[in-house]
Structures are given as structure tokens and as C-alpha cells.
Chains A and B, each alone.
Chain A
Amino acid sequence: MEMVLDILSWVFLLAGGAFCLIGGLGMLRMPDVYTRLHAVSVIETLGMGGIILGLILQAGFTLVAAKLIIIAALILLTAPVATHALAQAALHAGILPKLDHDKTGGHIAGEDESSNS
């Protein structure tokens, strides 16, 4: 039983670490701010999730596990807010995303229709 838990928790830990590595690699390979944010969101969801799940399996049914769950919930609730704030700040600063397809017709939510060119 101990052995099975250890193997399972190491699988999760290694998967989480691998996703963190992939996210970091994506940060280097992506061309602009917005696409880099996508690479980061792999780290903050799958990387974080895998590592915390592995640690919970190591901790067993203890107070530490409860704290780890609370940390995971906190990250899952705050990470998208930070990502959105970053993306919106970049857009407001006038950094336009490199696009293959623009399906907005030049209209971004919240802009006046008249101000579109």
C-alpha cells in the first residue's frame, strides 16, 4: 500500500514538473506577450496541480494535506485574475497581439462603436 502511494505520488510529481518545464520552454518559444500567457497558464494549472496532488499523496490524511488543498484552491482562484489583469494591461498599453485570424472585426469589448477605425 505504501509502495503504491509512493509510486502514484511520484507519477504526479514528475508530471507536474514536466508541465512546468514545458511551460518554461513555451515562454521562450512563443512570439509575443499574449501567446506567452498561454504557456504560463499550463504551469499554473497542470504544473501546480500535479505537484500539489503528489504532495497531498505524500502527506496522507493530515492537516498538511488540508493546507495544500487550500493553497491549490487559492492559486486556481487568483491565477486567472492575475493573467487577465496582465493581458488587459498589455492591451491598454497599446501592445497589439500578433494575429493570424481576427474575428472581432476590430471591435474590442467595451470600446465605443464610433471610435473604431
Chain B
Amino acid sequence: MLMVIGAVCSFGVALLASRMELLDKEGHPIYLLGRAVWFWPWLIWEIIKAGTDVSKIILSPKLPISPTLINVRASQKSAVGIVTYANSITLTPGTVSVELEDDEITVHAITRDGAEDLAEGHMDRVVSRFEGEGAL
């Protein structure tokens, strides 16, 4: 019963929002859902790799950090794509996107290697592929 009321309410809100013309393509990028099936597992694997690296750095007695600030370019075409890229950078332990303007992201990385891996642009290409051709 509660679930039915919830479903009815959600439908009502969606209906009202579309009547008020609040909906746009960025609101709920449902066209990305199919590609998310391979993007999410890839991102989770990246997070696990980076997370164990950062854990090793924290646990090692010498604390071998070499904080690096670096600018990377985002090659995505839509706002959703660039935000996905910046969020992926931040979500991966060891790299945090500090500032974002147009297609340039300033990233703080905990090690120099992490910054160089990011500058190589593998993650950028994967997110671009995730964004795909049909976006916006």
C-alpha cells in the first residue's frame, strides 16, 4: 500500500514538473543508463585500485606523499559529461578536482604518479565513451 502511494506521488510530481516545463535533458540523464552498466563496474575497479594505493601510503611509516597540482582537459562535449568526469576524479581516492571552468579542471593529487596517470587521459577517454555520441 505504501509503495503504491509512493509510486502515485512520484508520478504526480513528474507530471507537475513537466507541466511547469522544469524538465530538461540534464535533469535525469536516463539515456546514459544503458552505458552505465559497464561504466560503473569500471569506476568501482578504479576506486578499489586507487583506494588500496592511498591506504598503503597512509600506513607506510615514511608517509611518501608528493602533493601535486595539475590542470587536465576534459574532452567531453556536454555539461553532464564534464561533471561526470570531475566527479569520477574526486571519487577516486588520491585525486580531488579543486576547480572547474569550461573544459579545464584543476586537480590536486596526493602523489606525482597519480597526477601523471590522470594527465595521460585514460579516464578522460573512458568518460567520453560513456558520454557517447547522442548526448545533448
Bound form: Cα–Cα A97–B110 in Å: 11
- Which residues of A lie under 8 Å from residue B105 when comparing CB positions? 109
Interface residues of B in 33-49 (CB under 8 A from A): 44, 47-48
* Residue from B91, B99, B102, B108 within 8 A of A45 (CB atoms): B91
Main secondary structure of the interface of B (DSSP, over half): mixed
Contacts of B102 in A (CB 8 A): 109-110
| In the assembled complex, B75 has its CB within 8 A of some CB on chain A | no
- Contact size class for B? 35 or more
Interface residues of B (CB under 8 A from A): 44, 47-48, 51-52, 54-55, 58-59, 63, 65-71, 86-88, 90-102, 104-106, 108, 110, 112, 115, 119
* Pairs of residues from A and B, 8 with the lowest C-beta to C-beta distance, nearest first: A110-B101, A80-B90, A26-B58, A100-B66, A109-B104, A46-B51, A109-B101, A101-B68
Interface residues of A (CB under 8 A from B): 19, 22-23, 25-26, 29-32, 34-35, 37-39, 41-42, 45-46, 49, 76-77, 79-81, 83-84, 87-88, 91, 97-104, 107-110
